Structure 1
Amino acid sequence: MKNLVLVPILLFALFACKSDNPKPAPEIEGIVGTWKYVATETIVNDKPEWVSVPGESNVSFTHDGVILDSRNLPNCCAPKVYQVNGEWFVINKDIAREISEKCGPVDCMVCSTAWNIFQTNDELVVFSGCAPRVLTKKYIRE
């Protein structure tokens, strides 16, 4: 009789458990994690050149696409829509609203643009900003 009671309880416990590591959407799967900011692109003699950046700074992408800053807090000025290797990703509207409510009124830039992110293995290049001034940053996986 005990076994008949324990089996349903055990089955319930197994199916009620949620994964601590939810699977990210396929378009952001490669960028989830922490990335260290290592260089920025600058024009030298009319040619683009990577220049190392001093200090410790990083960016993180969560399984649901939220962009975190170096303090592991939502980056208030990060876009809620961005492109990764040509694929658009839109952060869930409820999560985006929650971030906006936590950040309050923040003036991040004159124009809002999506980030274009290109990831190759353990290197990430992010294009952001407003034309004609586009910021290009390079990150490496931590």
Structure 2
Amino acid sequence: MAQCRDKNVAPETLQPLVGKWRLVAYERIENGNKVWKEADPQSPSFLFFRFDGVVLDSKELPLCCPPNALNINGKEFTIIPKSALPENPTCAYVDCIGCALWEIKLTEDTFILDDCGISLKREYVRVP
């Protein structure tokens, strides 16, 4: 008899990343040097990772220029949506220069995101 797997169960590599994350810091260039700055707590920014790896924005809508895969601590995970996605009306006005592979350094309840150098690195913490 074939083993059935729940389609809403994230693979082992992705599972620690599933959930809601808040931006806490980001890199910027000051006087030619990269420095970390604290994100504004008054206007928080969030990312959501679904069980299938799909990345959603602060309004829980799909990103306009999403990655095709995630590299989580050296392990690559290809994103294949397993359930319907709502439409993000903002995307009609966006000309994408996306990053196919996001590099994520995950430790417990924090991760550093590098999206091909499109923007500088960002640090997120898990929202309980």
**1:80 & 1:120 partners in 2: Cα distance?**
22
> Which of the numbers 75, 81, 88 marks the counterpart of 1:87?
75
- Check if 1:141 corresponds to 2:126: yes
Counterpart position of 1:60: 48
Q: How big is the alpha-carbon RMSD for the aligned residues of Structure 1 and Structure 2?
A: 2.7
Q: How many residue pairs were aligned?
A: 117
Structure-1-length-normalised TM-score: 0.69
Unaligned runs of 5+ in 1: 1-17
Instruction: Give the CA deviation at 1:125.
Output: 0.5
Q: Which residue of 2 aligns with 1:72?
A: 60
Q: Which has the higher helix share?
A: 1
1:49 corresponds to which letter in structure 2?
V
SS of corresponding position for 1:75:
coil
* Equivalent position of 2:8 in the other structure: 22
Residue pairs, 1:1-142, within 5 angstroms: 22-44=8-30, 47-54=33-40, 55-92=43-80, 95=81, 102=87, 106-109=94-97, 112-130=99-117, 134-142=119-127
1:102 shift after superposition: 4.2
CA contact (8 A) 2:66 2:99 kept: no
Following TM superposition, by how much is the alpha carbon of 1:26 offset from its aligned partner in structure 2, in angstroms? 1.0
Q: TM-score under structure 2 normalisation?
A: 0.75
Cα deviation code 1:17-76 (max 9, x no counterpart):
x96x93211111111000001110124455532101211110010111110100011112
Question: Structure 1 CA distance, aligned partners of 2:99 and 2:123?
Answer: 21
